Amino acid sequence: MPDFARAAGVGVVINDEPTPSLYTWAGGADALLRLTEAFYRKVAQDELLAPVFAGMDPGHARYVALWLGEVFGGPAAYTAERGGYEFMLAKHLGRAITEQQRRRWLNLIMDAADEVALPDDPEFRAAFVSYLEWGTRLAVQNSAPDAKPFHGAPVPKWGWGVAPPYVQAP
């Protein structure tokens, strides 16, 4: 494993352990379920998003937690239980998600991440937000009435990008 330096040069990571997945760093399945439950409580109170999610499946928060877990390097539970990317894609087709709704969704999930104390180190949050930005923009595109989304894609696997987790050298 190479040595990693924090972007500002504050410290250097010297670590023989494998870099943990985003899933592990976030706190695993329990942390992601806390995140999505807090998020959907916020959605239910939001004038812009509540109508979009009215009548959602009672298990929706859990399904989104499974999706995020799989994307962030956890078990392939969403694929096993729900059918993977195609099932997720089908849930967005024809929904005509607006940019305003996308932004609100993003803001509320970030607020929920703070509320449930997901890691707030810059490296994790950069990777987390990177996926959310990509995924929500793709959802807007795929939900357009005239969308011609790509079918057959795998569940994306998101990693640290350019900034792996920073661990204080002993």
Q: What is the pLDDT of residue 14?
A: 47
Q: Which stretches of the chain drop beneath a pLDDT of 70?
A: 1-16, 168-170
Overall pTM > 0.95:
no
Q: What is the pLDDT of residue 167?
A: 72
Neighbour tally for 76: CB within 10 Å: 13
pLDDT digits (tens, 9 = 90+) for 76-108: 999 999 999 999 999 999 999 999 999 999 999
- Distance in angstroms (rounded) separating the CA atoms of residues 97 and 100: 8
Q: What is the pLDDT of residue 107?
A: 98
Q: What is the pLDDT of residue 7?
A: 39
Q: Is 108 exposed, middle or buried (0-12, 13-18, 19+ CB in 10 A)?
A: buried
Of 32, 8, 30, 28, which is closest to residue 132 (Cα–Cα)? 32
Residue type for position 67: W
Neighbour tally for 30: CB within 10 Å: 11
